[in-house]
Amino acid sequence: MDRRTLLFAVATGLAAFAGAQGQPFDPAAIERAAGAKGTWIAAEEVFKVSLPRTDLSVVAEGVKLSPPMGLTSWAAFRKGIGHTIVMGDVVLTEDRVAPAMDAALASGLEVTALHNHFAGESQRVMFMHVAGTGEALRLADSVGKVFAASRGGTAGEELARGAIDPATSRLDREALDRAFGVKGDYSSGVYKVVVGRSARMHGATLGSAMGVNTWAALAGSMERAAVAGDVVMKESELQGVLKALRKAGIRVVAIHNHMTGEEPKLLFLHYWGVGPAESLAAGVRSALALTSTKS
């Protein structure tokens, strides 16, 4: 090795050592807590752990998807002022959405979005985005719990016993009115309540009729019913709504926006649940209570 090559090698090694020494995180400790391998991205001062979902077998329109094609859960850590910031995206089969969401909320992370990334795939996968601030190892531990909850289970697990058909619904409208705290409409075997709020967009005030509303629709019997609906809320209301619905055993199936440029900025959450009708109504009402019906 000539002198110039030797000097270059020494300089490169020293630079790498200095960069590693300058990291604000303990990479090995974060990897252990998160249960995933990581990479230091020096240009952005980010430590990113990744969990390739090699356990999944997903095909979309005849294309077998692999982890580099979007089937990799990840979480990225960056030092902020006085705290660490984490952001991540978790790959989930449908039956693991609720356990992973519960793990995130229970460990102090925020769930910021839930949606699909593909179309027509089998087995179906969803993507849950999370975020948080705090001490790095605590956040890594929280990420590890979410990653662990994202795996296992049985895709296609039966979540309800027997069929519910609106054509044979036997619901008590007055009891549901009391449970929701508002009067609903009961027709064609479906009981439905709609609670509006308002937003401004393009110089006009938009309300319930324009889709700015929370709604719930139930079918079945008082003993066993199904509920489907939306919740409209400000960003600051999302985490409370998530916790209220999950406490009531209601599944969250999507979190996203329906509009752009509205004031205030609003998010929409879609949910689904099966259980006693009054319990479902009480769960939706507890979430609705955490939102503003006026803006």
Between residues 79 and 12, which one has the greater pLDDT?
79
> What pLDDT digit, counting tens, does each position of 264-284 carry?
999 999 999 999 999 999 999
Tell me, what's the pLDDT at 55?
A: 95
How large is the average pLDDT for residues 155-182?
82
At residue 7, does pLDDT exceed 90?
no
pLDDT of residue 8 exceeding 70, the answer is: no
- The encoded tokens of residue 233 equal 């809320």
Q: Percent of the chain having pLDDT more than 90?
A: 85
CA distance 273 to 11: 61
Average pLDDT on 90-98 reads: 96
287: its two tokens: 């979430």
Region 229-233 average pLDDT: 96
Specify the higher pLDDT residue, 6 or 84: 84
Across 115-144, average pLDDT: 96
What pLDDT shows up at residue 292? Answer: 83
Locate the domains of the chain by residue range. 24-149, 166-288
pTM, entire model: 0.85
Indicate the helix (H) or strand (E) that contains 191: strand 190-196
114 vs 252: CA distance, rounded Å: 8
- Is the pLDDT reported for residue 254 higher than 90? yes
What is the CB-side half-sphere exposure of residue 30 using CA atoms within 13 A? 25
Calculate the average pLDDT of the chain: 90
Contact between residue 130 and residue 104 where contact means Cβ atoms under 8 Å apart: yes
Say whether 81 sits in a helix, a strand or coil: coil
